[in-house]
Amino acid sequence: MQLKAQNLGFSYSPGYWIFRHLQLQIESGQKIALLGPSGCGKSTLAKVLAQFYQPQEGQIYLNQNNLPAKGFCPVQYIGQNPEKMMNPRLKMAQVLQEAQQNKAQVWEDFAIPTEWLNRYPRELSGGELQRFAIARALAPGVQFVIADEITTMLDAISQAQIWQLLNKQIEDRHLGLLLITHDNNLAQRVCHESYSFFDLQKKE
């Protein structure tokens, strides 16, 4: 399986490009880190690849086919603020059910105690919520995961736990990973190779 961005361009306002002529390719089982300073456009690219936004230029292919325009996306995005990605009125069991992740094996895989399932997002810590965000993102049919600074706001112990859980799932399921970060040490620990965000863009 291959995820490929070809000549990708995106802008929030006409004439003000966040990136342009961008090229990126990830294979199943490959773990790539994308490095760059805050505000350079890494998160925007991540959301374009996961179809939160539509690019003004270029194409995104999954095995040489366009990503599905509607319905479930096989490229899933996980951000650093999981509380913003969840309906505050739903209990956590319902959050998992939205992604068809309602089996006891899922709770075990992501170290989710059953008592957390009856809580609302506001009743959990950032690290606890991030486990649910990862479990939801790794629903059946996912092929690629984009992890955008997912442990930046967490303490060192929670960071290690989250990456251990996510990395095991990625390796067991042979998924592709794009890690968005400004932390070179994390990139070296988690990924096979790293790229600068600016190096992905062709010069005009």
CB 62 within 8 A of CB 74: yes
* pLDDT tier for residue 39 given thresholds of 50, 70 and 90: confident
Q: Is 108 exposed, middle or buried (0-12, 13-18, 19+ CB in 10 A)?
A: exposed
> What φ, ψ does residue 179 adopt, rounded to 5°?
-95, 120
- Ordered structural domains, the chain, with CATH: 2-200 (3.40.50.300)
Condensed to tens digits (0 to 9), the pLDDT of residues 102-135 reads 566 777 878 888 899 999 999 998 888 988 898 8
DSSP single-letter state for residue 50: T
Separation of alpha carbons 8 and 20, rounded Å: 6
SS3 content of the chain, % helix, strand, coil (to 5): 35, 30, 35
* pLDDT tier for residue 179 given thresholds of 50, 70 and 90: very high
SS3 58: strand
- Tokens standing for residue 134: 């990862």
**pLDDT in the model for residue 103:** 64
> pTM surpassing 0.75?
yes
